[in-house]
Amino acid sequence: MNWEQSYREQDTPWDLGGAAPPLISFLKKEGINLLAGQTVLVPGCGYGHDAEALRRVGLEVTGLDLAATALKSAKMLYGDAVRWLEGDFLDPSIVPEHSVDMVFEHTCFCAIPPEQRSNYVKSAKHWLVPGGFLLGVFFTDPPPREDGASGPPFGVGLDELRSLFGESFTITRERSPDRSHPDRLGREVIIEMVRNT
Ligand SMILES: C[S@@+](CC[C@H](N)C(=O)[O-])C[C@H]1O[C@@H](n2cnc3c(N)ncnc32)[C@H](O)[C@@H]1O
């Protein structure tokens, strides 16, 4: 999948035009437990809507993406209060270890080829401080693609998520979102986990 080309051609069917409904709901109900100034990474941030929503509650946010064109648009939409970083989340050499308190996952994991999922977990562990928090909205059953291709998005089962993340993280909560985009109703799960020390 050539993400940069999709953004250049404005072929971005995944873009919701705003923050993910499960994130909005989480921030409304539980954002109060997040400490202002805590650092957050949004890997595969695309146009940056989720990153901006996290910034608005007082967090210090880095939006990371492979696609320069997506980041250029994110910057135009939301300015420089979020740090926009171009790079590959799967490449641990792009940042020092333990650089953020929280990772917010939404539609990056499902964009990564399934055979690279263990590298996703390694990178999340690399970025997070020990004890750091990963809030993930995962596609268990993504809507079929219009072109019939198998993915992305690549769905993932709960058992696989538990076993993949279980080695480096402790899962503290799993639930269905109380709000989802209409196309995604019943197809997502929210998992909260903490990086093991
Ligand atoms: C399905 S899109 C979702 C974008 C955004 N999260 C949203 O919901 O609109 C997947 C995003 O992940 C980015 N991406 C894919 N693989 C990546 C990687 N290895 N490192 C960083 N970004 C990646 C793509 O460029 C794209 O912006």
Whether 59 and 102 have beta carbons less than 8 Å apart is answered as yes
C-beta of 46 in contact with ligand 1 (< 6 A): yes
The CA radius of gyration of the chain, in Å to the nearest whole number, is 15
**How far apart, in whole angstroms, are the C-alpha atoms of residue 41 and residue 61?**
6
**How far apart, in whole angstroms, are the C-alpha atoms of residue 123 and residue 144?**
28
C-beta of 65 in contact with ligand 1 (< 6 A): yes
Is residue 27, in this structure, part of any structural domain at all?
no
Is residue 48, in this structure, part of any structural domain at all?
yes
Is residue 149, in this structure, part of any structural domain at all?
yes
pLDDT in tens, 58-79: 999 999 999 999 999 999 999 9
Is residue 24, in this structure, part of any structural domain at all?
no
Ligand 1 centre distance from Cα of residue 88 (Å):
10
- Confidence at 32, pLDDT banded by 50, 70, 90: low
Q: Is the pLDDT of residue 179 over 90?
A: no
pLDDT of residue 148: 74
Ligand 1 centre distance from Cα of residue 142 (Å):
15
Mean pLDDT for the stretch of residues 48-54: 97
**How far apart, in whole angstroms, are the C-alpha atoms of residue 21 and residue 18?**
8
- Confidence at 144, pLDDT banded by 50, 70, 90: confident
Domain count, the chain: 1
Is residue 16, in this structure, part of any structural domain at all?
no
Range of the domain at 114: 3-7+35-195
pLDDT of residue 50: 98
C-beta of 89 in contact with ligand 1 (< 6 A): yes
What share of the chain in percent tops pLDDT 70? 98
Ligand 1 centre distance from Cα of residue 51 (Å):
13
C-beta of 112 in contact with ligand 1 (< 6 A): yes
**How far apart, in whole angstroms, are the C-alpha atoms of residue 50 and residue 20?**
6
C-beta of 66 in contact with ligand 1 (< 6 A): yes
Is residue 41, in this structure, part of any structural domain at all?
yes
Ligand 1 centre distance from Cα of residue 103 (Å):
14
- Number of Cα atoms under 13 Å in the Cβ half of residue 1: 18
Taking CA atoms only, the protein residue closest to ligand 1 atom 27 is 46
Query: Given the CA of residue 89, which atom of ligand 1 is nearest to it?
Result: 20
**How far apart, in whole angstroms, are the C-alpha atoms of residue 74 and residue 124?**
22
Mean pLDDT for the stretch of residues 83-104: 93
Q: Would you put residue 46 in left (φ > 0), alpha (ψ -120 to 50) or beta?
A: left
C-beta of 14 in contact with ligand 1 (< 6 A): yes
Ligand 1 centre distance from Cα of residue 44 (Å):
3
CATH code, domain with 60: 3.40.50.150
C-beta of 19 in contact with ligand 1 (< 6 A): no
Is residue 146, in this structure, part of any structural domain at all?
yes
Is residue 21, in this structure, part of any structural domain at all?
no
Mean pLDDT for the stretch of residues 116-130: 96
